[in-house]
Structure 1
Amino acid sequence: MNTYGGRRTQGERDAITVEIGYALCSAAFAAAVLFGALAGPAYLFGLPGGVRDVLVGSGAVLAAVVFFVRVVSVLVRFARGDQPSRSGRTGPGS
């Protein structure tokens, strides 16, 4: 993405779109797993209302934080170009 002020190519726009989709999907998955891990036992074991409310509330807050942090970290890594090497593609030095 070195076209500062210029138009992006179709390939660059596609890469950004895919990366945004990946960031949102992976963040939603991570948040759902965290929420399920915290709030799930409250319903599974039939805990009392106060304990259940605390677990569900903390699960929701932590899931939102994890979602935001994951999206930002993926998009910042993409903008910096810190992409892990993709299998099947070799660099010029290998």
Structure 2
Amino acid sequence: MDGHGGRRNKAEQDATIVEVGYALVSAAFAAAVILGAVAGPALLFGLPPLLSAVLLRVGLTLAPIAFVVRVVSVLVRFRRAAQPSQPGRTNPDS
């Protein structure tokens, strides 16, 4: 919705859909990289069982946290950037 309580136009809807898609894909990539970096050695190498279990648990804990943090940060940044300039003031991007 725009700052005046009206409906979004098609361009705004498309921009929102693209931004949500970007947030989800980049968050999934970040989570996969973190999971691979932390839990990967436990799966690839013959580590002691305790160390392997700890690495898997830490990786499975950090990956969803990274996913949520990435989605929220992208969407918050998009929402701030989408705010219209104040009436009567010059837009710095113009």
Q: Which residue of 1 aligns with 2:61?
A: 61
> With structure 1 as the length reference, what TM-score do the two structures score?
0.82
Q: Aligned pair in 2 of structure 1 residues 53, 79: CA closer, same or farther (>3 Å)?
A: same
CA distance in 2, matches of 1:32, 1:78: 23
What is the SS of the residue equivalent to 1:5?
A: coil
Can you list the C-alpha shifts for 1:26-65, whole angstroms capped at 9, x where unaligned? 0000000000000110121111222111101100111111
Separation of aligned partners in 1, 2:2 and 2:39:
44
Within a 5 Å distance, the mapping from 1:1-94 to structure 2 comes to: 2-81=2-81, 92=94
TM-score normalised to the size of structure 2? Answer: 0.82
Cα distance between partner residues in 1 of 2:35 and 2:4:
40
Fraction of identical pairs, as percent: 60
Q: How far apart, CA to CA, are the structure 1 residues paired with 2:81 and 2:3?
A: 14
Could you tell me which residue of structure 1 aligns to residue 86 of structure 2?
none
Residue 21 of structure 1 deviates from its aligned partner by 0.2
Residue aligned with 2:5, SS: coil
Q: How many residues align?
A: 84
Query: Unmatched 5+ residue regions in structure 1?
Result: 83-90
RMSD of aligned alpha carbons:
1.5
Q: In the superposition, relative to structure 1, how do residues 4 and 72 fare at CA in structure 2: closer, same or farther (>3 Å)?
A: farther
